[in-house]
Amino acid sequence: MEKHYTLQKAAELLGVTTQTLRNWDNAGKIRAIRTPGNQRRIPESEINRLSGFGEEEYSEVTSPVEPVGEVAEPVTADVLIIPVAPVVEAVAIAEKKDSYQLMCKDIAVYDITQGVILNESLLPGCMLKGTMDFAQWMETRYSRDTNFSAERLMNRAFGSFNHETAQITTGAFSLSDCYWLKRTDDDMSFMDITPYIHKEWDGLDAYGAQNDYIWGPLSNLFVSGKTDKKWLDAQTLLKVGLFKELEPYYLCEALGLTNHAQAQKTDEGIILSNFTSTEVFYESMEQFGVTEETPAPRYTAVESFKEQAVALFVIDYLIENNDRFEDDYGFLRNADTGDYISMAPYYNFDWVWSGSAIPLPENAWQGYKSYIQSLCYRAINIAKDFEYGSIIERRAGELLHL
């Protein structure tokens, strides 16, 4: 496989500026490829072809390069290896000493290489609290091997289920938040390559040829969870075959609850509308720093979100969803300031009608008993309209007698 150089390194080798390389690329005078994260890489053959020419001589002796239609292999010259131990340890990058930063949009938040906080306001809550290091936080963001769509795409793109390679090649973009990884000496901006507006959805490479990602968007690599799901576009998540998950959303609407994701039925499964954007991003309770090891995480949720958290836990009880953990609910944050805005919309009702229910936390009963009872009475009145209405009615009766 041919070696590829970053724009900065190629500029150093050729004795020109990075802006000159961009100009040459735009004019078709040099063959540059784009990574799936839309960053330019210069093939070694181009470095060899152009070696010895300065910035002025180049324009006189070279002619435009014909675009190359074939798909470039993934760039693996710069492989980011995230430390498993404390974040203060240096990041090793494939026999190099390159520096990387965690960005939130175009604000540098954390120096990954040095382990230095650069902006506390936008730092993931768990890192600021010290409950997770950078590597552990990254694990909460991208796909496990239980997401079948993500696993297939990973294997197709990189040849193996290799998150370390994927992180640096893709910039670790997600459609849940506005964080990404950036080389310190790279001048790429968030709006250049964010998947909210990026051309990855078109399945086209830099020269307009079909690429390996045409069957599904690259952001599949960063959808966590245990079901088969994939982004159809920046606003639409398909959960394959999970038709039973629709009923909880219908129940929320019938009870007058508005704080839930918007769901629709399709032939393939259900689609959910993305509730994040370039202005507002999602942070789960786990990413906020509340985990299974934290005393009474559900208690903390009620303290943070009040009736909104209570309603979610009541819905889970009525539909027997016993898979509501700290990565399944959380906050919406302002992507520019880091401010915590509100509870995120309810989502992830995968494990409904399980036959068991999770008890409500004690502070829900202490502060919101009348509200819980009101939800249960309303649920009993509308239960007949639901396929699993008998379960809803029985579970509501249980709560009323507690």
Over its length of 402 residues, how does the chain's per-residue pLDDT go in tens digits?
577 887 777 887 888 876 678 778 777 788 887 654 456 778 888 888 887 554 444 444 444 444 333 333 332 223 222 222 233 222 333 333 478 999 999 999 999 999 999 999 999 999 998 888 998 898 888 655 556 666 676 666 666 656 666 677 778 888 899 999 998 888 888 988 787 876 555 544 444 444 444 445 556 556 666 677 878 888 888 888 888 899 999 999 999 999 999 999 999 899 999 999 999 999 999 999 987 666 788 999 999 999 999 999 999 999 999 888 888 999 999 999 999 999 999 999 988 999 999 999 999 999 999 999 999 999 999 999 999 999 999 999 999 998
Q: Which part of the chain has CATH 1.10.1660.10? A: 4-61
State the pLDDT at residue 95: 33
The pLDDT score that the predictor gives to residue 364 is: 97
Helix (H, G, I), strand (E, B) or coil at 53: coil
CA-to-CA dists, residue 9 to 34, 35, 36, 185, 396, angstroms: 15, 16, 19, 10, 64
C-alpha span between 304 and 309 (Å, rounded): 8
Three-class SS of residue 236? strand
pTM greater than 0.75: no
**pLDDT at position 170:** 73
- The confidence score (pLDDT) of residue 84 equals 28
Q: Identify which of 334, 281, 341 has the alpha carbon closest to the alpha carbon of residue 121.
A: 334
> Where would I find the H helices in 15-162?
18-26, 44-50, 55-61, 125-129, 134-141, 148-158
Structure tokens that stand for 399 in this block: 């709560």
Partners of 4 in beta bridges: 43
CATH code for residues 4-61? 1.10.1660.10
pLDDT given at position 371: 98
Query: Hey, is 263 helix, strand or coil?
Result: strand
Cβ distance 41 to 33 under 8 Å? yes
Cross-strand bridge partners of residue 107? 104
Strands (E), 166-245: 179-183, 229-233, 236-240
Q: What is the pLDDT of residue 260?
A: 96
